[in-house]
């Protein structure tokens, strides 16, 4: 393992342990598992499907914008995961439970978070009045990844920065 990643894992594992204690409390774990599941695409693709129905061509433009950036985000995130190969907290420390099955082997960066941040940023550009829904949902998706034992905090923070960068770059291209 890369020495830098090993050091980072050691520094972040205690925080992951603290956040992962939620798996002991089903009343807390279930909402995070649900948020994570919705953040896996169900919420975002439903939003993209509804926007053209509700807002016609403007909604279609927003949905296509989100879809294109989502495709770029997917390619970038898969490339980064393949290069860094950072093991998930639940595989690094035996006392951190994966409360839901991981979608793939590596943790860096968090794809859920990257997509949530990029999709929310773009959707908020077109529909700022949806902030009351999208901002808390995105924050919960990001938090769920650490709580569920699947990601380190830096996986989520870097994914947030990448998601913002992709979204803002795409917005600069259209304005």
Q: List pLDDT tens digits, range 80-133.
A: 998 999 999 988 888 888 888 888 889 999 999 999 999 999 999 999 999 999
Confidence at residue 32, expressed as pLDDT on a 0 to 100 scale: 87
| Contact between 109 and 152 (Cβ < 8 Å) | no
More confident residue, 97 or 46: 46
Does the pLDDT at position 175 exceed 80?
A: no
| Contact between 66 and 119 (Cβ < 8 Å) | yes
| Contact between 18 and 161 (Cβ < 8 Å) | no
Start-to-end Cα distance in the chain: 43
Neighbours of 91 (CB within 10 A): 16
Task: For residues 49-67, give the mean pLDDT.
Answer: 97
Confidence at residue 49, expressed as pLDDT on a 0 to 100 scale: 97
**pLDDT band for position 36 (50/70/90)?**
very high
Closest of 13, 76, 74, 82 to residue 40, by C-alpha: 74
Residues composing the chain: 175
Residue 95 DSSP one-character state: T
Q: What is the pLDDT of residues 25-35, one digit of tens each?
A: 778 788 988 99
**pLDDT band for position 143 (50/70/90)?**
very high
Distances (CA, A) of 162 to 21, 48, 101, 138, 154: 28, 21, 24, 14, 12
Task: For residues 127-147, give the mean pLDDT.
Answer: 96
Confidence at residue 2, expressed as pLDDT on a 0 to 100 scale: 82
Task: For residues 126-147, give the mean pLDDT.
Answer: 96
d(CA 12, CA 156): 12
Average predicted confidence (pLDDT) for the chain: 92
Q: What is the pTM of this model?
A: 0.92
Q: What is the pLDDT of residues 10-27, one digit of tens each?
A: 898 888 888 888 767 778
**pLDDT band for position 76 (50/70/90)?**
very high
């Amino acid at each position: 393992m890369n020495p830098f990643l090993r050091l980072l894992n050691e520094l972040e594992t205690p925080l992951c342990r603290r956040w992962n204690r939620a798996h002991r409390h089903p009343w807390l774990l279930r909402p995070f598992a649900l948020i994570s599941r919705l953040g896996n695409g169900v919420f975002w693709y439903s939003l993209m499907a509804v926007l053209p129905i509700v807002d016609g061509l403007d909604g279609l433009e927003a949905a296509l914008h989100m879809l294109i950036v989502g495709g770029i985000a997917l390619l970038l995130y898969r490339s980064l995961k393949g290069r860094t190969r950072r093991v998930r907290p639940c595989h690094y420390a035996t006392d951190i439970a994966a409360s839901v099955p991981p979608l793939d082997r590596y943790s860096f960066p968090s794809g859920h978070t990257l997509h949530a941040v990029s999709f929310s940023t773009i959707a908020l550009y077109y529909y700022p009045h949806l902030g009351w829904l999208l901002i808390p949902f995105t924050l919960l998706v990001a938090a769920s990844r650490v709580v569920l034992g699947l990601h380190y905090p830096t996986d989520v923070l870097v994914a947030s920065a990448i998601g913002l960068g992709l979204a803002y770059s795409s917005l600069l291209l259209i304005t």
